[in-house]
Amino acid sequence: MTAAGPGTVYLVGAGPGDPELLTLKAAHLLATADVVLHDDLVPAAVLAHAAHALVINVGKRCGRKNISQEQIHAMMIEEARHGLAVIRLKSGDPLVFGRAGEEMDALRAAGIPFEVVPGITAAFAAAAALGRPLTDRRGASSVSFSAGHHAPGSQLEPASLAGATRVIYMPGRDLLPVAEQLRAEGLPGELPCVIVSRAAQPDQQIVRTTLAQLERIASLPAPSILLAGEVLREADDNQLTGIAESVTVSPTNQPQPVQAE
């Protein structure tokens, strides 16, 4: 069993939200940590593993900041210097579209030892929920991960990967910019697109549509992720006319179709 060590910071992936998708190492560290600094998107069921720790929400969500990134750095460093075992708990995987790079730089500069513990990222949970692969030797030999939200002044370069499955984290409430970007890459209007809201959680929702109709889809509860690619095509996709099918996962894990708004 891995126990959290004193004076060390652990950047831990909480996975997509289902506590059963935590790694054993993450669960063991949470059980033995002194302090847990967690994102908004980490659910209570995951935080319950940190029964003996001081648990602090340091989340930044939808542009609203409870605490600055620099303050998070300072908290990690201060608690570790006091000899405490600190977990910086991030939804999904800590190295995918988070600020782990900035946090590791701050810890290195302060001379604080740290360890990264990977977690299941939302793309894998979404693909599992769909029962579809992200790659397939018959037509999708690569997958591209990108983010719909970026640091001020930065720009997303087109993926330009022929046949790649596109996975877009944080696509935003307005899907028009994402749809325009994908069309600018030359992707066809009939390309299957799927939005998965709150993947692997009890209130998960799935909306299937096409690139041509993507911008018409109403926003879903955050966090959501967008997947686009031929590997997502199903036998009846040729009958899609822009009215998307939404599937909510029931407590018995049996898909129940509902109409998208």
Starting at the earlier edge strand, list the strands of the sheet with 54-57: 54-57, 35-38, 86-90, 9-13, 114-117
Q: What are phi and psi of 138, to 5 degrees?
A: -85, -5
Is there a cis peptide before residue 223, judged by omega within 30 degrees of 0? Answer: yes
Which residues are known to be catalytic? 39, 60, 170
Which residues, 6 or more positions from 166, have their beta carbon under 8 angstroms from its beta carbon?
143, 144, 146, 159, 182, 226, 227, 228, 229
Name residue 15's beta-bridge partners: 92
DSSP labels, 219-257 = P-SSSEEEEESGGG--TTGGG--S--EEEEEPTT--EEE
Give Cα separations from 129 to 53, 95, 162, 202, 218 (angstroms): 32, 22, 25, 12, 20
